[in-house]
């Protein structure tokens, strides 16, 4: 009984997808859209609930892409409610070191990137996908984006991301094809910055 | 007491329209997740061939199992699917694949290029310009453009990583030296975003310029060799060429005998058992659409017409 009680304790109250096959396909197409057209913002409509501090878009992305084959690092303790929720709903493997992970999730945008798997020249696809939660996400941008998937340029504003993080991203992506692919989330919104996207921070002139 | 989502018994919206006993779009969710992750990396590294764990499909290799697995992993009930084989919607291959997805995914199908959200193709890109939010999925038999020069996988991987494509250029140049022009008219290699050299699958080189800065997302699936690669929208795709021998596409002195088009890729077809021939659009939907709008070609060859009168 004690064992049963313990395993019931591990069942999170927060729900995943109502209809996993149907919902994960819709969420995947949104991820595919933002990854292939960097800076585009999409919104998820799923009714899932996620334990704090996980935002709904972050939860939807994790439930869509993660399973027992994916190694995941979170900027939260391994016994956090979020860890329990993701383990229960996806069966993912949590890893201790960020450098071992296929997916790295920052629930708070960091000032610098920890050691990450950048892939190799021969197998650049093994590089980490980095999910970062932000306070807000819109196209009234300070960031000017150019590169594949962008017709001329696109603008993006991701609030509360330390400027130093963008410098770290440049460094991580300096040896193409190695690099990291970032998915930004904010509440129900998502956008992406694959390794090929060039970022330029526009200056503000007060007049 | 909250319901536990994992145990909740509920009819999936997908099951209402599809065959009982099948996974939605045939593949199980675990396989789809694996292919979806590979697809995202393919998009993030334009032109790079991402290895994936290809699954057995209920069709033999050569029937586009790679393209089918890609389509199965991205398709949803709101999609409208078009399938073409060498430009035509009505070949056995195209009809079978369309039927496969109509049965296992319950999706709408169409022959009209502009109405499709996903276009799966073997050996052609439609003549009508593809739009943003459309996805074209190519069936790829041989994904490695350097294989004919270098049989070893670890070597071709290195050549790609370092963009060491000198041998490829030498090979094409020798082609010119022998024949006076580049005779490779199908599967003509392209360079994506100034890095990876990529096989566009056996489309005629006539279609190569359509890949450049295309507003639609281009996905490529090779089933036997287990590779997925991609070109995001608005991405530079350049056909390899030389200063003294610029890249050229096929052209015809004739126009389409049926619709009069002089801008489409033409197939030469035989119209009777006496060997009468004519040129017609390879893209059957494009040709039918033009005829429906009143465009007319010069018609059948004269010999055929006389025979017809008799
Ligand atoms: Zn025609």
In a domain, A81, yes or no: yes
Q: What is the DSSP track for B115-166?
A: G-SEEEEES---SSPP-TT-EEEEE-S---TTTTT---HHHHHHHHHTT--H
Tell me the per-residue pLDDT of B229-247, one tens digit each, with 9 for 90 and over. Answer: 999 999 999 999 888 888 8
Tell me if residue B255 is catalytic: no
* Structural tokens at position B45: 């590294």
pLDDT in tens, A94-149: 999 999 999 999 999 999 999 999 999 999 999 999 999 999 999 987 899 999 99
The pLDDT value recorded for residue B306 is 40
B19 in Cβ contact with B58 (< 8 Å): no
CA distances from B47 to A136, B229, B230, B240, B249 (A): 32, 6, 6, 14, 22
Which residue range forms the structural domain that includes residue A110? 2-201
Q: Is residue A207 part of a domain?
A: no
Q: Which of A191-205, B32-46, B233-247 has the highest mean pLDDT?
A: B32-46
Asked whether residue A91 is assigned to any structural domain, the reply reads yes
Mutate one of A39, A47, A129, A148 to test the B interface: name it (highest B CB count within 10 A).
A148
Output the CA B207–ligand 1 centroid distance in Å. 16
Predicted pLDDT at B175: 76
Orientation of helix A56-65 relative to helix A81-90, angle to 10°: 40
CATH number of the domain within which A177 lies? 3.40.50.11310
The question of whether B106 is a catalytic residue gets the answer no
Q: Which residue of A has its CA nearest to B105?
A: A22
Q: Is the pTM of this model over 0.90?
A: yes
Q: Could you tell me the CA-to-CA distances from A75 to A55, A82, B208 in Å, in that order?
A: 14, 10, 45
Residue A28 belongs to some domain of the structure: yes
State the pLDDT confidence band at B283, using cuts at 50, 70 and 90.
very high
Query: Would A127 be classed as within a structural domain?
Result: yes
* CB-CB under 8 Å, A22 with B13: yes
Whether A153 maps to a domain, the answer reads yes
ipTM of the assembly? 0.95
E-state strands within chain A: 42-43, 71-74, 93-94, 103-106, 129-133, 137-146, 154-158, 181-186, 189-193, 198-201
Widest CA span of chain B, in angstroms? 84
B281 assigned to active site: yes
Q: Supply the pLDDT for residue B167.
A: 84
Distance of CA B278 from the midpoint of ligand 1 (Å): 11
Q: What is the per-residue pLDDT for B18? A: 62
Q: What is the mean pLDDT of residues B112-141?
A: 97
Residues of A in contact with B144 (CB under 8 A): none
Give contacts of A13 with chain B, Cβ < 8 Å. 2
Determine the distance separating the centroid of ligand 1 and the alpha carbon of B203, expressed in angstroms.
18
Average pLDDT over residues B74-89: 96
Q: Are B233 and A37 inside 8 Å of each other by CB?
A: yes
pLDDT in tens, B180-202: 766 778 899 999 999 999 999 99
CA of B291 to the centre of ligand 1 (A): 8
Distance CA B269, CA B277 (A): 6
Domain count, chain A: 1
Determine, for residues A181 and B34 on separate chains, whether the beta-carbon distance falls below 8 Å: no
Model confidence band, residue B276 (pLDDT cutoffs 50, 70, 90):
confident
């Amino acid at each position: 009984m004690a064992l049963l009680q313990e395993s019931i304790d591990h069942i999170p109250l927060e729900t995943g997808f109502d209809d996993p096959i149907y919902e994960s396909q819709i969420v995947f197409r949104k991820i595919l859209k933002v990854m292939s057209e960097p800076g585009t913002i999409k919104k998820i409509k799923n009714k899932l609930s996620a334990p704090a501090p996980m935002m709904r878009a972050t939860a939807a992305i994790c439930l869509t892409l993660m399973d027992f084959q994916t190694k995941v690092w979170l900027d939260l303790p391994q016994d956090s409610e979020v860890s329990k929720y993701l383990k229960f709903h996806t069966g993912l493997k949590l890893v201790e070191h960020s450098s071992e992970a296929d997916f790295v999730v920052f629930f708070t945008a960091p000032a610098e990137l920890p050691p990450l798997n950048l892939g190799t020249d021969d197998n650049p696809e093994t590089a980490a996908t980095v999910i970062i939660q932000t306070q807000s996400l819109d196209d009234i941008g300070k960031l000017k984006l150019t590169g594949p998937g962008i017709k001329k340029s696109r603008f993006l504003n991701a609030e509360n991301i330390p400027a130093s993080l963008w410098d770290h991203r440049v460094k991580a992506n300096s040896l193409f094809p190695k690099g990291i692919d970032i998915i930004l989330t904010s509440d129900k919104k998502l956008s992406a910055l694959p390794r090929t996207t060039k970022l330029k921070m526009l200056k503000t002139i007060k007049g | 007491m909250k319901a536990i989502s994992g145990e909740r018994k509920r009819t999936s919206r997908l099951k209402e329209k599809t065959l009982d006993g099948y996974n939605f779009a045939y593949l199980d969710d675990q396989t789809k997740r694996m292919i979806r992750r590979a697809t995202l990396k393919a998009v993030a590294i334009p032109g790079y061939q991402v290895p994936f764990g290809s699954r057995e499909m209920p069709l033999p290799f050569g029937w586009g199992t790679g393209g089918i697995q890609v389509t199965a992993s991205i398709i949803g009930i709101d999609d409208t699917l078009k399938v073409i084989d060498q430009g035509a919607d009505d070949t056995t291959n195209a009809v079978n694949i369309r039927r496969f997805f109509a049965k296992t995914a319950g999706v709408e199908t169409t022959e009209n290029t502009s109405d499709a959200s996903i276009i799966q193709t073997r050996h052609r890109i439609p003549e009508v310009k593809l739009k943003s939010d459309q996805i074209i999925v190519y069936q790829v038999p041989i994904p490695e453009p350097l294989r004919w020069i270098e049989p070893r996988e670890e070597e071709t991987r290195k050549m790609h990583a370092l963009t060491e494509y000198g041998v490829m250029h030498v090979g094409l140049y020798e082609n010119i030296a022998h024949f006076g022009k580049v005779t490779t008219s199908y599967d003509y290699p392209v360079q994506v975003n100034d890095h990876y050299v990529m096989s566009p699958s056996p489309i005629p080189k006539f279609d190569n310029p359509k890949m450049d800065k295309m507003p639609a997302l281009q996905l490529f699936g090779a089933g036997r060799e287990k590779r997925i690669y991609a070109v995001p929208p608005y991405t530079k795709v350049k056909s390899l060429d030389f200063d003294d021998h610029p890249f050229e596409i096929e052209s015809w002195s004739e126009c389409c005998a049926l619709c009069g088009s002089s801008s489409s890729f033409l197939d030469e077809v035989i119209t009777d058992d006496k060997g009468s021939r004519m040129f017609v659009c390879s893209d059957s939907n494009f040709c039918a659409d033009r005829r429906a709008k009143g465009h007319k070609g010069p018609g059948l060859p004269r010999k055929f017409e006389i025979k017809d009168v008799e």
